[in-house]
Amino acid sequence: MHLDFVAKPEGTRQLNTLVRTVLQQAGLEDEGLRTALLLVSDREARLVTLLTFWDAGRFSRARERRIAWMQKLLAPFADGPVRAQTTMPQFLLAETPAALGVDDRARGVSELAHVAG
């Protein structure tokens, strides 16, 4: 899931810690959340994107509910609406791109870190 919003004027200095805490307290790992990546624009510090990676099977069964849930969780940090869209990620720079997917439990999240850098 890809969530975009404009952060409140207080800025994004502690946004990473605050969003991580909210996601953990919401128990989303029990609902299929695998990991999340917070991106803050280097050109406009208030433009924020949260990429979340879910177990595809569990996510698809309750897609609309999960989207609404994430929008509600991020609303306190947003100065306006939280826009959401869902996509199916494809990793392009992995050693074996066809073999690596979000639901590849054999490799786990540690492989995602390896691919990223």
Record the pTM.
0.75
Q: Is the pLDDT of residue 94 over 60?
A: yes
Cα-based distances in Å from 102 to 16, 25, 27, 111, 113: 22, 23, 19, 10, 12
Domain segments of the chain as ranges? 2-86, 89-117
The CATH code for residues 2-86 is 3.30.70.100
Q: What is the pLDDT of residues 52-87, one digit of tens each?
A: 999 988 888 889 999 999 999 999 999 999 999 998
Cα-based distances in Å from 113 to 76, 98, 102, 116: 29, 17, 12, 5
- Residues 105, 110, 112, CA angle at the centre, nearest 5°? 85
